[in-house]
Amino acid sequence: MPSRVVVAMSGGVDSSVAAAMLVEAGHEVIGVFMRHGSPAAAPAGTSLPIVEASRPGHQGCCSVEDALDARRVAERLGIPLYPLDLSDDFHRIIDYFAAEYGHGRTPNPCVRCNTWLKFGRLFDYADAVGASHVATGHHARLLATADGGHSLHRGCDRGKDQSSVLFEVPRERLRRMLLPVGELTKDEVRTRASGLGLVTADKPDSQEICFVAPGEHPQLVARMLGGSRAGEVVSTAGDVLGAHAGIEHFTVGQRHGTGIATGERLYVVRIEAAACRVVVGPRGAVPEQQLTAGEASWLIDEPAEPFRCFVQCRTGSPPAPAILTPLPNRRFQAVFLGEADSLPADAAPWPGAISPGQAAVVYDSSRVLGGGWIETS
């Protein structure tokens, strides 16, 4: 049944086509451009506030071009587009980003943005304008369950799947979410956009963190934390191999950028934040056997007993088979099985490098069951 729907329009092709599909379905569509950054002067002829100055080659979101593209798409579709100033809220995400690096962890600001803003504050806006649903251009699907609820699943285009960044969305909000492009491949999305004459049809996908230029996050972290966390690079045996410019430059599993030449490939095995020490070793020393996660969120009834599942430890990485054991205080342990036989095409025997601070997302086949934030590995 047609209804009033708020669509988060980022200025990208996916959200553009999501809005178009909802218009075609007869919904009353209200576009919203979420302004995250510091305001800048808007180009002449537009009343839409702009988030930041454009950066050449930037492929994040929330830029000047993104705001203008969202406006052009809305005009083409004949729908209103309103700016939603979330700059104050967004400081919370930047603070989290810097604090995680300062503690030797690798943050995932996109998940936090989806939880706190896109499916947090955006629902407040939807309620204020009397909208029944909130929609985005995420490549993920929502399917009805036998009990009348909804379940979250991977998008049909597994190469573009974004279901893992939605694991923290509150379960009760799934019934008010719409993910129109989840049933399409990326090529189909672009074909639809081209057929509708949308300016975003050939626009590159967003690939960078929206609030910092590519490769410049260590400078941002150092500035926010009052200086770099410089220290020693040591081997797994404790031998000092050299020095580094700051732990904010590193993540577990990283190979390049250690500045150490020993004749063998060295990877970051762990980061000891209190001592500002980066421990490196051979690939086999990088943790990928088990993890403990906290702040668990579940899109199913909270599990009480161990069960078999698949766990994905990095956005874009394949999930791996594991036994998950619930722990007290919204925590769980996942022990990876290392199975190489009879795996689905999009799974792997091991999860790859397990980095504290990243999300551990739990799947049953294509269905997202929940997840948590990696504490130890």
Q: Can you tell me the distance from the alpha carbon of 14 to that of 24, in angstroms, rounded to the nearest whole number?
A: 15
> Would you call 156 a catalytic residue per the annotation?
no
CATH topology for 4-195 is Rossmann fold (3.40.50)
Q: Which residue among the candidates 61, 156, 210, 313 is catalytic per the annotation?
A: 210
CB 164 within 8 Å of CB 42: no
Domain residue ranges of the chain, discontinuous segments joined by +: 4-195, 228-285, 290-376
pLDDT in tens, 206-261: 766 777 877 889 999 999 999 999 999 999 999 999 999 999 999 999 998 888 88
CATH topology for 290-376 is Elongation Factor Tu (Ef-tu); domain 3 (2.40.30)
As assigned by CATH, the class of the 228-285 domain is mainly beta
> Would you call 113 a catalytic residue per the annotation?
yes
pLDDT in tens, 152-189: 999 999 999 999 999 999 999 999 999 999 999 999 99
Q: What's the whole-number mean pLDDT along residues 82-107? A: 91
Q: Can you tell me the distance from the alpha carbon of 61 to that of 71, in angstroms, rounded to the nearest whole number?
A: 14
Q: Which residue among the candidates 61, 62, 110, 113 is catalytic per the annotation?
A: 113
pLDDT in tens, 252-288: 999 988 888 878 899 999 999 999 999 999 999 999 9
